[in-house]
Structure 1
Amino acid sequence: MEIRGNRECADCGTRWSYYETGEIACPNCGGLRSVGRDEERRLHTDGSATLDLSPVKEALADRPLVETVEDVRERCREYRRQRGFVRGGDLLDLDETYLVASELLLVVGEYERSLSSGTLDAATDDEEQLYVLSLLELDRPPADRVPPSFESTRALAYARAVGEYRSDLLEWLDASDGEYPAVRTALGRLEDHLRRVEALDGSVEPATAERLVVIAREIGRYLREDDELALVRAQDRLDSLR
Structure 2
Amino acid sequence: MELRGERECQSCGVQWSYYETGEITCPECGSIRSVGLDEPTTHTAGNTEFELTAVRAEVDDVGVDQLADDAAAAARDYLRRVGFVHAGELQPLDDTVLAASELRRVGATLGRVMRVEDEEELYLLELLRLADQNDRPSADEVPETLTPERGLAVAAAVDIYLTDLRRVHDDRETEVDRVLSGLRSRRKRIEALDGDVDPTEAEQLVRTTRDVSAYLREGDEAALARALERL
Indicate if the aligned counterparts of 1:45 and 1:86 stay in contact, CA closer than 8 A.
Answer: yes
Indicate if the aligned counterparts of 2:106 and 2:149 stay in contact, CA closer than 8 A.
Answer: yes
Q: Distance in 2 between matches of 1:224 and 1:97?
A: 19
The aligned counterpart of 1:204 is 197
Q: What letter corresponds to residue 78 of structure 1 in structure 2? A: D
Query: Are residue 229 (structure 1) and residue 187 (structure 2) matched?
Result: no
Q: CA shift at 1:9, angstroms?
A: 1.0
Query: Are residue 136 (structure 1) and residue 135 (structure 2) matched?
Result: no
Q: CA shift at 1:90, angstroms?
A: 1.2
Indicate if the aligned counterparts of 2:14 and 2:28 stay in contact, CA closer than 8 A.
Answer: yes
TM-score under structure 1 length normalisation: 0.89
Indicate if the aligned counterparts of 2:211 and 2:223 stay in contact, CA closer than 8 A.
Answer: yes
The aligned counterpart of 2:58 is 59
Secondary structure of 1:59's match? coil
The aligned counterpart of 1:8 is 8
Equivalent runs, 1:6-45 vs 2, <5 Å? 6-38=6-38, 40-45=39-44
Deviation digits for residues 100-126 of structure 1 (CA, Å, limit 9, x no counterpart): 110000001222234x1x4x5xxxx22
Aligned length: 227
| Alignment equivalent of 1:153, drawn from 144, 149, 152 | 149
Secondary structure of 1:113's match? coil
Q: Distance in 1 between matches of 2:101 and 2:73?
A: 12
Deviation digits for residues 152-202 of structure 1 (CA, Å, limit 9, x no counterpart): 11101101100111111111112xxx5433212211111011111111111
Q: Distance in 2 between matches of 1:88 and 1:53?
A: 27
RMSD across aligned C-alpha pairs, in angstroms?
1.4
Equivalent runs, 1:173-184 vs 2, <5 Å? 173-174=169-170, 178-184=171-177
Indicate if the aligned counterparts of 1:21 and 1:47 stay in contact, CA closer than 8 A.
Answer: no
Secondary structure of 2:28's match? coil
Structure 1 segments unaligned to the other structure (5+ residues): none
Indicate if the aligned counterparts of 2:69 and 2:111 stay in contact, CA closer than 8 A.
Answer: no
The aligned counterpart of 2:212 is 219
Q: Distance in 2 between matches of 1:63 and 1:231?
A: 47
The aligned counterpart of 1:104 is 103
The aligned counterpart of 1:170 is 166
Indicate if the aligned counterparts of 2:72 and 2:106 stay in contact, CA closer than 8 A.
Answer: no
Q: Distance in 2 between matches of 1:28 and 1:61?
A: 42
Deviation digits for residues 34-90 of structure 1 (CA, Å, limit 9, x no counterpart): 11122x222111111111111111111212232123322221111111111000011
Structure 2 segments unaligned to the other structure (5+ residues): none
Query: Are residue 186 (structure 1) and residue 211 (structure 2) matched?
Result: no
TM-score under structure 2 length normalisation: 0.93
Indicate if the aligned counterparts of 1:47 and 1:83 stay in contact, CA closer than 8 A.
Answer: yes
Q: Distance in 1 between matches of 2:182 and 2:118?
A: 38
Provide runs of 4+ in structure 1 moved above 4 Å.
none
Tell me the percent identity. Answer: 47
Indicate if the aligned counterparts of 2:7 and 2:17 stay in contact, CA closer than 8 A.
Answer: yes
Q: What letter corresponds to residue 53 of structure 2 in structure 1? A: S
Indicate if the aligned counterparts of 1:155 and 1:209 stay in contact, CA closer than 8 A.
Answer: yes
